[in-house]
Amino acid sequence: AAVPAPKSTCKNLCHRHQLFINFRDLDWHKWIIAPKGFMANFCHGECPFSLTTSLNSSNYAFMQALMHAVDPQVPQAVCIPTKLSPISMLYQDNNDNVILRHYENMVVDECGCG
């Protein structure tokens, strides 16, 4: 039987939302030397079955969306980060130490269904 495709507008589809947090707004600029802020991008949006293949999805997301369409008890494929990049932070602690620290997978570059 044909699986009815749920209606979704382009605006509601899974994609990356840009969000920049300025450390000055949090008063953290007094101890964080660089960067000036953090790109706190996030993924949000729907992953309808009809568009699962075109929304940078994993094969499993396609299967899950298909199963959800057949059995609504199976959860829907969700909008998740598919590409992340690291950040480096330069800051000063209470002992006047200058610290440069690398953090993996901190900034969302791309989103997709999974």
Partner 1 sequence: FQFPEYVFLQFLGLNKVPSPQKFQPVPTLLRKILQDREAASTAGVPQDVCYIKELGVRGNVLRLLPDQGFFLYSKTRPQDSPCLQKLLYFNLSTIQEKQQLTMAQLGLDLGPNTYFNLGPELELALWLVPDTQVWGSKVPKAGRVLLVKSVPWPQGALRFNLQGMVRNWNSHSWPSLGLLLQILVKGDGAWELDGHLQDTCSRLRRSLHTYLLVVTLDPEQCHLVSRKRR
Residues interacting with partner 1, by CB under 8 A?
26, 28, 30-31, 33-35, 85-104, 107, 109
Count of helices and strands (H, E) across the chain: 1, 7
Q: Which is nearer to partner 1, 29 or 44 (CB)?
A: 29
What whole-number distance in Å separates Cα of residue 104 and Cα of residue 108? 11
Q: Which is nearer to partner 1, 10 or 98 (CB)?
A: 98
CB of 89 to partner 1, least distance (A): 7
CB of 73 to partner 1, least distance (A): 33
Q: Which is nearer to partner 1, 32 or 67 (CB)?
A: 32
Burial call 5-21: b when 16+ CB within 10 Å, e when fewer: eeeeeeeebbbbeeeee
CB of 108 to partner 1, least distance (A): 12
CB of 21 to partner 1, least distance (A): 10
Q: Which is nearer to partner 1, 62 or 91 (CB)?
A: 91
Handedness of CA 55, 57, 59, 64 (dihedral sign): negative
